[in-house]
Amino acid sequence: MQEIRELPLLVVDELPSKKMKGRNPLALFHPEMEKYLEVLREKGYELVIDPTNSLYGAGAYFAPSEKLISLNPNSSWQTFLHGFQHLEFHELIKREFYTFQDKIIRQGSSMEDLLQPEIVSYLGPKKIQRLDKLMGQGLPVTAVNETMSVSDELDLIGFKKWVPSALGGKLTSAALTQDYALRHQINELRKILDRGATLTDAQKGALRQALLKRLGGNGVLVADLLIMGVPPVAIISGGIHYIKEKNIYLYKDDEGSWHIVQGIKKNQ
Ligand SMILES: [Zn+2]
């Protein structure tokens, strides 16, 4: 795998003159790519095409240390926007993330007051509002970053009716995209618990909300259990799980919903 990465990357110097219409065409053929490419270059980044991305299961990646955004030749505009948001986040927010977050939580500040006015107008009110909300919930940096990228994707593809991932069936592309952000939120908050630290009330609220959205109606129970410190493995894998704290058995059905197994109780 390493040798593949050593191959010279194809730097995009010129975009194809042919443009594609529609909401979500291929990134390289999108009429607005020229504009984005300019911003990217101004910040010292390059856009590269690397067909080996797909070997890693990625549609694109953002590599701040190599100063590039890498796409597959057939990456969609949606995928590019996801990567481009990571670049913006890296350049404008990441370095001072926890300082900003502290001010939002403790002093009720807004990113509008914390960022330079030109950055505020560059990001626009919608993104500022999103940052305030997510950072105010105490979500860790990766969770906020991924959620912001996903929100940009959803702005483009449209957010249809929410389909909880755990209910199985066909997921809309929007639901899959949203699910990606929720997984990051849950995982990053879980890492705090894994370190043995406790969650703030706002973080517990965010965790509960994310779990509820992922798990549908049975999420209340599962969120409750997680917050009480039940090992995550009991929650994420299939099969029947004994939850010591509540002396109950849970199982996940084929459609991904959680149920309490009635009639079995361990004698304590
Ligand atoms: Zn991402």
Side-chain half-sphere of 124: how many Cα atoms within 13 Å? 4
pLDDT in tens, 34-69: 999 999 999 999 999 887 777 766 778 899 999 999
* Candidate ranges 25-34, 85-94, 187-196; pick with highest mean pLDDT: 85-94
Residue 246 Cα to ligand 1 middle (Å): 36
The pLDDT of residue 185? 92
The pLDDT of residue 222? 59
Residue 140 Cα to ligand 1 middle (Å): 14
The separation between CA 91 and the C-alpha centre of its own chain, rounded to angstroms, equals 18
Residue 249 Cα to ligand 1 middle (Å): 35
How far is it, in rounded angstroms, from Cα 46 to Cα 67?
A: 6
Whether residue 86 is predicted with pLDDT greater than 80 in this model: the reply is: yes
Give residue limits of the domains in the chain: 1-92
Element (H, E) at 127: helix 117-136
Annotate 65-94 with b (16+ C-beta within 10 A) or e (fewer).
eeebbbbbeebbbbbbbbbbbbbbbeebbb
How far is it, in rounded angstroms, from Cα 14 to Cα 32?
A: 14
How far is it, in rounded angstroms, from Cα 70 to Cα 46?
A: 8
More confident residue, 214 or 105: 105
pLDDT in tens, 149-168: 999 988 888 754 444 444 34
CB atoms within 10 A of CB 177: 21
> Percentage of the chain surpassing pLDDT 70?
68
Residue 146 Cα to ligand 1 middle (Å): 5
Residue 221 Cα to ligand 1 middle (Å): 29
Residues 182/188/192/195 CA torsion (nearest 10 deg): 130
List the structure tokens of 126.
């919608």
Whether residue 230 is predicted with pLDDT greater than 80 in this model: the reply is: no
pLDDT in tens, 114-145: 999 999 999 999 999 999 999 999 999 999 99
Residue 82 Cα to ligand 1 middle (Å): 6
Residue 92 Cα to ligand 1 middle (Å): 16
